[in-house]
Amino acid sequence: MEFFAPQVRDTKLPFHYVSQYYSMPVVAGKESVSPICLWGFNKPKVTEVVQAGDPVLHEPALEVRVEDIGSARIEKIINDMVATMRNAPGVGLAAPQIGEQLQIIVLEDTKELMSYAPPEEVKEQQREPFDLLVIINPKLTRKGGSDKAVFFEGCLSIDGYRALVERDLEVEVSGLGRDGNPIYIKASGWKARILQHECDHLMGDLYVDKMVPKSFRATKNLRLPLAAGCPNPGVCKASTKRV
């Protein structure tokens, strides 16, 4: 998922955004880089993000076999996903976006990425930084009666466009980490949106399958007025009917 500060793409990115994966390959205690990379082979590769229209994005992804977790192949896919997400830069990526029809997602949001968005927008979106998450075979649970949030959303697989998408404000996700251990995440706000967006990818759904159709627009038109009938961006209490 794009992190939603389109102006950054038009400027020169800070050096470490482009190269941090290579310039800082090993951080003790961080799960960002597999030990495979320590020895200089099987280096993570920044991959071209698959664009909408490719069948790999529109069909359900396959579960990763538990016995394959930790294998060189799965580790390579995860490392390539992280490198590609950070290079874009984005706040989330699903394996089908690098052409792998597997149920793996990665997500991460940083203070630096957030600094490119207007502070009032960050606050309204309930966006908080969080460390890299790698989830294999994620299962997302929606809480009945959860509040909703409508915001513009982008996708690295639909380059250059945005649309309003209604998402649950709180979700729970369980799955497996890259070490095979169970993971359970309770998320709210923007992180919950990223999780829903990435888990949708694994079902073969893109945000355009769920968007408010008349809000779809090129990034350069982002701030132009909304068409009649489009909901205003913001949080909507479950008990409140949006006008």
Q: Give me the active site residues, please.
A: 198
Asked if 82 touches Zn ion (CB under 5 A), the answer is: no
Smallest distance, Å, CB 42 to Zn ion?
A: 26
β partners of residue 130: 109
For Zn ion, the closer CB: 155 or 176: 155
DSSP string, 192-242: HHHHHHHHHHHTT--GGGTB-GGG-EEGGGTTSPPPTTPPPSEEE-TTS--
Size of the site for Zn ion (CB under 5 A): 2
The least CB distance from residue 197 to Zn ion, in Å, is 6
Residues numbered 148 to 167 that lie near Zn ion (CB under 5 A) are: 155
Residue closer to Zn ion, measured from CB, 1 or 82: 1
> Which token pair is 197?
């967006």
In terms of CB distance, is 61 or 69 closer to Zn ion? 61
Q: Which residue is closest to Zn ion by CB?
A: 155
Total residues found in the chain within this entry: 243
Closest to Zn ion by CB, 155 vs 165, is 155
Instruction: Identify which of residues 33 and 102 has a Cβ nearer to Zn ion in the complex.
Output: 102
CA distance 194 to 192: 5
Min dist. Cβ of residue 207 to Zn ion (A)? 7
Q: What do you get for the CA distance between the two ends of the chain, in Å?
A: 28
The stretch near Zn ion (CB under 5 A) out of 1-9, 15-23, 31-39, 125-133 is 1-9
Instruction: Assess contact for 45 and 75: CB atoms under 8 A.
Output: no
Rounded least distance, CB 88 to Zn ion, Å: 10
Reported for 9-13, long-range contacts at CB under 8 A and 24+ positions apart, including other chains, are 13/89
Binders of Zn ion among 94-133, rule CB under 5 A? none
Q: How far apart are CA 17 and CA 35, in angstroms?
A: 21
15 three-state secondary structure: helix
Smallest distance, Zn ion to C-beta of residue 136, A: 18
**Chain centre distance of CA 20:** 19
Residues at the contact surface with Zn ion, assessed by CB under 5 A: 1, 155
